[in-house]
């Protein structure tokens, strides 16, 4: 009878992206812009999904819930989008520098 190998849990994609070394030097401005873009994107997704409850916007609690969740997601490593944006911008900058 064949032995079955146990299934081992893998780390989430966002955690892998957060620990992946960047192939190019990190520019603090690019890093910050990429993180801010990801945070804005997460807020838009949560708002569209009506995560805050979708109640009357006059109450103000919907926005607070979305902001709190978005902040928690981005501080916890985000979706991995910021790293990809940062890498793409760094590659584009390196390519533009070589052409000059």
Say if 59 falls within a structural domain. Answer: yes
Q: Is residue 17 part of a domain?
A: no
pLDDT at position 14, please? 47
Is 11 a domain residue? Answer: no
Number of domains in the chain: 1
* In a domain? residue 55: yes
33 is a domain residue? yes
Question: 38: how many CB neighbours lie within 10 A of its CB?
Answer: 22
Looking from the CA of 97 toward its CB, the CA atoms found within 13 Å total: 7
**Is the model's pLDDT at 71 over the cut of 80?**
yes
Residue 7 located in a structural domain: no
Q: What pTM, to 2 d.p., does this model score?
A: 0.61
Instruction: Specify if 45 maps to a domain.
Output: yes
Query: What pLDDT shows up at residue 62?
Result: 75
Domain holding 65, by residue range, is: 27-99
Task: Tell me the per-residue pLDDT of 29-56, one tens digit each, with 9 for 90 and over.
Answer: 888 888 889 989 998 988 888 776 665 5
Lowest mean pLDDT among 6-20, 22-36, 60-74: 6-20
**Three-state DSSP class for 59?**
helix
Query: Is residue 49, in this structure, part of any structural domain at all?
Result: yes
């Amino acid at each position: 009878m064949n032995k079955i190998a146990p299934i081992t849990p893998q780390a989430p994609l966002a955690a892998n992206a957060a620990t992946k070394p960047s192939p190019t030097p990190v520019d603090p401005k690019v890093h910050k812009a990429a993180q801010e873009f990801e945070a804005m994107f997460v807020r838009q997704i949560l708002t569209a999904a009506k995560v805050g409850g979708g109640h009357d916007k006059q109450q103000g609690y919907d926005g607070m819930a979305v902001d709190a969740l978005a902040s928690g997601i981005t501080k916890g490593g985000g979706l991995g989008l910021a790293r990809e944006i940062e890498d793409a911008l760094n590659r584009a900058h390196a390519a533009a520098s070589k052409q000059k």
